[in-house]
Structures are given as C-alpha cells and as structure tokens.
A and B are shown apart, each in its own frame.
Chain A
Amino acid sequence: MSTDLSTGTSTPASVETRPPVFSVDGLWKVFGPKAETVPADPELTSLPPAELRSRTGCTAAVRDVSFDVRKGEVFVVMGLSGSGKSTLVRCLTRLIEPTAGTIAIEGEDVRAMDKTRLRELRRHRAAMVFQHFGLLPHRTVVDNVAYGLEIQGVGKSERRDRAQEVVEKVGLEGMEHRRPSELSGGQRQRVGLARALAVDPEVLLFDEPFSALDPLIRRDMQEEVVRLHQEEGRTMVFITHDLSEALKLGDRIALMRDGEVVQLGTPEEIVGSPADDYVREFVRDVPREQVMTVRRAMRPGECVGPDHPGAIAADAVVADAIQVVSRSHRPACVVEDGRCLGVVDHERLLDVVAGTELRKEAV
C-alpha cells in the first residue's frame, strides 16, 4: 500500500540508500467508539470520511499511511488543517496511540515497546518542537532548555553546561536567565528548538513550529533550521501547512488530505507532476522556476559544443538557467560529473515556467 514515489532524481544518491530511521506502514488513527474495528473492516475503510462518521461515529484522522524517513533527510508532512498531519507526527512517539499499522524506529517496533522502552525513545531518540512552544513558564530559558536532561537524571552542572552550549547554538546568548514570558515569539521557539536539541536526539520532530510566528521571524527560523540541518545533518520530520515552507525545507514531502497521503515525493515531483487535481490546485501558484531543476527542463542528449557553453549543473533550479541563457542568448549545456547530459534553451525554460512541458511530452 506504499505510495512511495521517492525515486526523486534530485535527492543525492547517498541519502536514498541510507537506512530508514522511521519506517511507517499502514498506519491508522481512528477517534471514536470502537475505533479499532474500523481499520480491520475493508468495507468501512473504503468509506469517505463523512459517511464513516455517520455510520460508526468515528473519525479517521490518519488513514493507511506508509512512508520511510531516511537518515539525514528533512521529511516534510504537509496538509491543510484537519488533514491529520499533527496526529500523524504524534503517533510516531505514541503521544497519540495509533489504532493500527506498524511504526519502526531503526527497525525496532515502536508499538510493541513497553513503558520504559517508550520513555527511552522519547528521552533520547526523538524530540519534538511544538507549535505553541510548550515551554514551562516558571523556568528560565536555560532551565527550560535543560529540562529534557533533568528528566533523564543528568546532574545539575553537566546539564547546565550542555544547555548553555545549545542556547548559544540557537542564538540566545545573554537571555539565559529570562523567563519565557519575557521573550518574543521567535525567541520562545528558539528555546523550544534548543530544548529538543539539548537531548541530542536522532530525530527532531517539528509540529508546525513556525505557524504562530510573524512572516519575517518565520523566515529567520526556517533559515535557522536549514543551517542546523546543514551543520549537523540531523534527521527531521517537519509538519507544516505552508507549502512554501515545505518546498523550502523538505528533501521529500508527503502531502496529506483527509488523513491520507495523496502524494509523496521531492518538491520538484510534487510541483512538476502533481498526482491529482487536488495537488495540482495546491501547487498552482508556486513559482515553478524556483523549484524545478534544469535536469527536468533539458533536452537530453544534444550537446552544443565540446566546451559546454553555459555549463549548468543538473540540479540547479530553472531560475539560474534562465539567467545564464538570457545573458548568452543561446542554449546552455547541462553538465554532471564533467559529462554533458543535454541542453536547455529559451523554449524549454519557458515551458517549465509556464507549466506546459508535461503536456507537450504527453503529446
């Protein structure tokens, strides 16, 4: 039942072959009376949400979702409110108990874990950043950051040192002794981020962490996340309802609707080949030249000349190619590993921007 379309060409090959950190298969979360009967009954599972509710009184927040989160990637789950994405991320560490399906973290079955083992998972392996921060108002910044370590039983001086390190890493030096109420929204979320980082988890889970922030601050924080990911290469699962955020951060994106994953793929795949009308409508206004890569725009095989004029990398975005081509007024070569893969010209680039390249291919 896996809808894994992740043969994305732009993902570096090394990530693709890495082992999955989280492996989710056939996951269901149903709220309501006798919820556990719903996923098991093929007649009920095929019902649309409204009918399921009227028949059983149950709501399926997550319906038969499968995906792998690979080590070191930023996996974005994106969808509108009520699409089940927040429930999904909570199921990963069983903050919400899943109804059916399997979840494995590095091959270990999460649903089979006992209390102690589950606590270990939450303490050391997966830490979460929340939409409304979830900070303890009676503690200072540094004590909030050290809270996860305190829970683990780390000694006071050690956890203070480690917290101090993380506080500096997220750019909160000098605010260690303030209370959350004395911070701005962006600063609070930095504390939330630092608290999650302090326990040095294998996976960071973000539940719409920046939706409560102003646009400018949101951009800062997104860049912060990109920076952290580049520096540390930590695996991240990122929930958002903001498409541009998803495209900006995600190595791969799972797009959810009514509890189901409608499409899973790289940003380019989502924008370039939407799985259905819903996704197409969703990505309609995306500036395609910022997302699509040259690899997709080029005409394969033709080389303009042995010196490869232009020489654009295959995974550069179309916007870059437009600059090169319009400056030189001639087609440019697409080069990977010193090999010429093809060329891009005015027409191909314009097709991508206009979103007409697929139709032409179909013809």
Chain B
Amino acid sequence: MATVTAPATRVSLPGFLKHRAAAKLALLALAAAILVPLADAQWASGSWPAALTVDLTQPLGRVSDWIIDNRDSHPLFLYGFGYVSNAVVLSVRAVYLVLLAAGWAGVTAVAALVAWRVAGVRLGLGAAAAFLTCGLLGMWIPTMQTLALMVVAVLVSVAVGAVLGLAAGLSDRMDRVLRPVLDTMQVLPAFAYLLPVVLVFGIGVPAAVLATVVYAAPPMARLTALGLRGADKEVLEAVESLGATSRQRLLTARIPLARKELLLGLNQTIMMALSMAVIASVIGAGGLGDRVYQALASVDVGAALAAGIPIVLLAVVLDRVTGAAGEGDSGGGHTGLSRRAGWAYALAAAVAVALVGRFAGRLDWPGSWTLNIAEPVNRAVDWMTDHLYSGVPVIGGTADWAGHFTTWVLDPLRDGLQALPWWSVLLIVAALAWVIGTWRTALTAVLAMAAIGVLGVWKPSLDTLSQVLAAVAVTLVLGFATGIAAARNDRVERLLRPVLDVFQTMPQFVYLIPVVALFGVGRAPAVAAAVVYALPAVVRITTQGLRQVDPAALESARSLGASSGQQIRQVQLPLARPALLLALNQGVVLVLAVVIIGGLVGGGALGYDVVFGLAQGDLATGLVAGAAIVCLGLMLDRVTQPTERRAKKGA
C-alpha cells in the first residue's frame, strides 16, 4: 500500500502546489502592474521615499524627556511604577543578601543537594562542580548577583505565566486573544524588549528584571495553556462523571495532568530568564552579563571568557536539573514518606554546611583560591591574532575569511538590497510569504516591512536583513547537511546529541565571546555567532523531521531498489517538508536574535542603534530601532511561516 501512496503524494504534491503558487504569483503580478507605476510616479526613489516616513524621533524624545523629568514627581511614577520598582529592588536585594549569608559553601551545598534530590547523584556532583568553578574563576559575587536577579525574575515570570496560562487554558476566548500575542512575543529578539522598560523605569535593576519577566513569561503561559488543553479527554470525562465540581476538576485532575508541561514551562522560563538576565546587562543588570559586556567592549576575550564560563555552567546545570524534574515520573519505588525523608536529610545537610561555613568565617570565596584565566587566555588570543588571523598558508587566516565574507557576501548583499526600489522589496516579501503561507501571513509581512520604511530606518534595517539572509543561508546549508547525516547515521547522531544539548542551552550572549576571539569585531563575527546559535535547532528539527518519515514509505522505496540518494530526494525530503519549513522558520528567528545582539561587537545596523540609544541616553533613536526590530522579526517570521506551523510549534 505504502509503495503506492508515497510516490503518488510526491508526484501530485509539487504539481498541485506549483499550480497554486503560480496562481498566487500571477495575481500578485497583476496587482503590482497596477500599483507599482502609480507608486513609482508618486514617489520615485530607490530607497524608501521620504514623503512616506513619519519622524517619530522627536515626539519619542519628548516623551522620554518628560518621563525623565517627572520620574520623581509625577503620581503615576510615585504611586505606580515607583512601587513596582522599589519592590523589585528590595526583593532582588533580599535574595542577594540571603545568598551571601549562606556563604559559598552553603549555596553550593544547597544547589548540589537539590540537584541530587531532583535529578540524581551525577547532576548533584555536577552542580557542586559548576558552582565551585564559578568561585574558582573569581566570579562568585557576579554569579550571585545574576542568580539573585534570576530568582526574582523567574518567580514573577512563573506567577504571571501560570495565571495567563490558566486563563488561556480554561477559557477559549482568552486563548484566542492570548495565543497570537504569545506566539509573536516568542519570535521577537530579546533586544526589542529592552527599550520600552528602560523608557519607563530607567536603566537599572528594576528595568532588567522586568525585561526578563516580559521575555521569560510567555513560554510558561503557552505551556500551561497547552498542558491544560491537552489533558486526556476521557480522564476529564471520568472525573466529571463522578460529580466533581469545576474547582475539584481543576485541582485534582487538570493541573496534575499538566504536570509535564508545567515543568517544561518552568524549564523554558528559567532558560529564557538566564538568557535575558545576561543580555539585560546592557540596561544595568550587573552580574555575569555585565562582566561579559564590559570585557567585550574592550575586546578583552580572557575576561569575557572568565565570566562566560559561569554563565554556560549555570545554564547547563539549571537546564538539566529542571529538565530531569519534568521527565522523572516520581513514581517507581519511592513512597511519599521516603521521598520526604530524603528532602529532610538534604535540607539538614545543607543547613549544616552553611553553618559550618559561617562559623569557620569563610562566607566569602577565599581570594587565594581563584584562578586567573584571563591572562593566559588573552595570551592565547594574542598568539592566535598573530598566527591565525591572516597569512596562514593555503587556507588563509580567520580574519581573512571574515574580511572575504564581508566583501564578497555581506557587502554585495547589503548594497543590492539597498539599491532595490522600495516597492520591489515589498513585492518580494509579499510573493515569498504568500507562496509559503497564506494571504494573511503575506499581508502581515508586507505591512511590517512597510512600517519599517515609515519609521525611517529603511537602510539600517536592510543592512540587518542582509546579515540575517547571509547567516540563514549558511545555517541552512550546514544545518540540513548535518541533519541529513545525523538522520541517516546513528553514530553521527549519538556524537552530535550531547553537543547540541549543550549548545541549545547556552544564552545567546555567550556566543559572541568565541567569535570575537576568532574573527575580531565587525559584521562577519556577528553573522558567525548567529550561525552557531541557530545551527543546533536547525540540525535537531531536520534530524527529527527526517527520522519521523513514515518507515513504511521508506521501506517500500528501499524494496523497490531506490538508492540512498533517491531515498533522500524522493521520499525523505518531500515527506519531511513541514519539518524543514519549521527548521527554516526557527533558523530565521534565532539568527535575527543574535544578529541584533551582534550590534555589540560591531554588527552595526539596528542592533547598534539600540545599544547607541541606551549608551547615549538617546532613547528615541533606540526605540525607533527597537520598533523596526519588532517589525523585522514579524516580517521574517510571517514570510517563513508555513500554514501548518501553528499545530507543530507546541513547545
């Protein structure tokens, strides 16, 4: 049977699609033929016509000035945001003081014992090792600062996300309202969230915490709603048939049944919070991220690495422990009592260690125990700069590559995009989005692109776009090739899996450190960081998609004597098309996020505008750039959004 169906779909699908795509394109061409001459006659210009821009800088500047002037006097700030701000500062401070009071021994013991109880001995030891490494690198205080900020941000995010998720999970109307908002928030680069909070709260810890909450709460809300909605219908019916009230149904069935999704939501929220807490160093978060940010600003790779390693360790430990909590079925041989006893022992042990540390007078990490890795690393980087940057025989140097990539790929792409008449850019966007998705996604994409023009940041946006396109192209070539290899060969997949696991948990910010070491600063390093960041997700989705292809279809192709190449081209790739499109979509979203952050290492364009706006206190420029980032993110997401994505992108 499958022999018949598989080739049949393969043959009919492209033909059918081509037909529809051709119809869409023809319709679009007709619209263009009417509209373009009109538009061109009216506003003939290569770049976005000045007549169609609205200058928001001045009004935004006035708003920002007004807020700065009135922050200490206006009742809105005194009694509204002021309280929020104070509460945030106080709670972060309180958590920080608790962490300091527990001392390094206490914190390490608590982390290790919690990890042990939740996820087993290996992770317990891992957690202890991770925290001790943070201390060893001389980063104990910044680690605690980041941790304090994260604890507060995660608690608030989980509370907000759970409430929103409950609303969306229980009410269909709330779900219809919230879902598109949450979906969109998920695809926007972290940088876009920074400026609005800074506008209201100014640079500092409150702004950092709130930006983190805004960034980290959506996954919790989405997964809570997903979990509540995905509950086994028959179980709910059984509960109802026993006469449960709706409150009983929620507390005894729906929430426990959603346990897995809730814990996955917690995991994602924690990871997003860490990622953002590090990025938020740009708006005064302090801690590890700030160390990286300062070091990168002076291209001090050694110092950046010393702060970057604790971030990575923190990310891996947090991810593994919360992930294990979600996977553990918590049943098995454990009865309730022995588990409780285990926790009691763990708690007692942690308190004991903390007290010992306290009475031994060793609350602070001892200064003599630190290992200065900055200098050796910097020596190594210097050596690399001298020997690997350029003039390596045959292959050239890394800086040469970066230079060539910039002159041969990035520059022509950027100049080409900027030289295109503005209406043709809109047309291309419309055509791509419509062919891949629906007329709705196409309309959103075109409107978003036009909004960029109206905001008056057409040129820098196209610059960013050119970097995104280049990075996406490289990511897809590498990602699809690796994905196909991993899907066809178990050994390759086994080798790749731990690497991908680690890479996917690392915050975006950390990726900037190695690329600066290798390529210096500029647009090419930003692109490289984006590629490295987006690659794991693309590889993973591709591999999964190819592996989930109906084995019967593949087997029947093999039984007909198809060669490996024929199997890939004629069965696997066509059947995995939805997964490949999803990989493209995810790749684009992830690449954009890092290309924007690349503004910190000389990526220029929109990211730089944001950083510049923050650094110079010119919030208007930053806000306009932030809005353009939102539009660009929306446009790229919608252009690559296949129609069936909604159902697929659960987690």
Interface positions of A (Cβ within 8 A of B): 93, 95, 118-124, 127-128, 130-138, 147-148, 150-152, 177, 179, 181-182, 192, 195, 199, 205
Contact = CB atoms under 8 A, between A and B. Distances in A.
Contacts of A122: 240-243
B331 A95 contact: no
Contacts of B547: none
A177 B332 CA distance: 10
Interface stretch (B163-171, B175-183, B251-259, B456-464): B251-259
Nearest to B330: A138
Interface string B232-246: 101101111111110
Contacts of B239: 134, 136, 147, 151
A28 to B, nearest CB: 21
A333 to B, nearest CB: 50
Contacts of B240: 95, 122
B367 to A, nearest CB: 49
Contacts of A182: 331
Given A136-B252, A136-B256, A179 B331 contact: yes
Given A130-B234, A138-B257, A150 B252 contact: yes
Contact of A151 (B242, B256, B329): B242
Nearest to A199: B242
Contacts of B331: 179, 181-182
A165 B225 CA distance: 38
B238 A134 contact: yes
A182 to B, nearest CB: 7
Contacts, number: 73
Interface in B206-224: none
Contacts of B232: 132, 134
Interface of B: 232, 234-235, 237-245, 248, 252-253, 256-257, 259, 329, 331, 335
6 contacts: A95-B237, A122-B241, A132-B232, A136-B257, A181-B331, A205-B241
Nearest to A144: B238
Contact of B252 (A147, A152, A181): A147
For the complex of A and B, 7 pairs with smallest distance between CB atoms: A134-B238, A122-B243, A123-B243, A148-B242, A128-B241, A119-B243, A134-B234
A147 B243 CA distance: 11
Contacts of B257: 136-138
B256 A134 contact: no
A151 B253 CA distance: 11
Given A130-B234, A134-B235, A136-B235, A147 B242 contact: yes
Contact of B245 (A93, A119, A195): A119
Given A134-B235, A135-B235, A138-B256, 13 more contacts: A95-B241, A123-B243, A127-B241, A128-B241, A130-B234, A136-B235, A136-B239, A137-B235, A138-B259, A151-B244, A177-B335, A192-B238, A195-B238
A82 to B, nearest CB: 18
Of A120, A151, A181, chain B has the most CB atoms within 10 Å of the CB of: A151
B256 A127 contact: no
A106 B245 CA distance: 24
A136 B244 CA distance: 14
Contacts of B253: 136
Contacts of A120: 243
A195 B235 CA distance: 13
A138 B257 CA distance: 7
A150 B253 CA distance: 12
A205 B242 CA distance: 12
A152 B243 contact: yes
Contacts of A127: 241-242
A280 to B, nearest CB: 34
Contact of B241 (A93, A132, A181): A93
Of B235, B241, B244, B256, chain A has the most CB atoms within 10 Å of the CB of: B241
Nearest to B249: A151
Contacts of B335: 177
Nearest to A137: B257
A91 B257 CA distance: 26
Contacts of A119: 243, 245
Given A136-B256, A147-B252, A151-B248, A131 B242 contact: no
A121 B241 CA distance: 9
A327 B625 CA distance: 101
A181 B328 CA distance: 13
A74 to B, nearest CB: 19
Contacts of A179: 329, 331
Contacts of A136: 235, 239, 252-253, 256-257
A130 B331 CA distance: 24
B412 to A, nearest CB: 58
B242 A132 contact: no
B243 A128 contact: no
A124 B243 CA distance: 9
Contacts of B256: 136, 138
Contacts of A118: 243
Nearest to B245: A119
Given A95-B241, A121-B243, A151-B243, A131 B234 contact: yes
Nearest to A115: B245
Nearest to B238: A134
A195 B242 CA distance: 9
A300 to B, nearest CB: 48
A181 B241 CA distance: 22
Given A150-B252, A179-B331, A182-B331, A130 B237 contact: yes
B329 A181 contact: yes
A22 to B, nearest CB: 15
Contacts of A93: 241
A135 B239 CA distance: 9
Contacts of A124: 243
A152 B329 CA distance: 28
Contacts of B244: 151
Nearest to B240: A95
Contacts of A195: 238, 242
A95 B239 CA distance: 11
A256 B238 CA distance: 24
A49 B396 CA distance: 76
B252 A123 contact: no
Given A134-B232, A136-B252, A138-B257, A128 B245 contact: no
Contacts of A205: 241
Contact of B242 (A123, A137, A138, A177): A123
Contacts of A192: 238
A205 B239 CA distance: 14
Contacts of B235: 134-137
A136 B231 CA distance: 11
B638 to A, nearest CB: 33
A199 B234 CA distance: 19
A147 B335 CA distance: 19
Of A119, A134, A182, chain B has the most CB atoms within 10 Å of the CB of: A134
Nearest to A93: B241
A93 B242 CA distance: 10
A152 B331 CA distance: 26
A133 B259 CA distance: 20
Contacts of B241: 93, 95, 122, 127-128, 130, 205
A104 B241 CA distance: 17
Given A121-B243, A123-B243, A181-B329, A132 B234 contact: yes
B264 to A, nearest CB: 16
A334 B256 CA distance: 61
Of A121, A147, A182, chain B has the most CB atoms within 10 Å of the CB of: A147
Contacts of A132: 232, 234
Nearest to B246: A115
A182 B252 CA distance: 20
B56 to A, nearest CB: 48
A179 B328 CA distance: 14
A135 B231 CA distance: 12
Contacts of A151: 239, 242-245, 248, 252
A302 to B, nearest CB: 54
A92 to B, nearest CB: 10
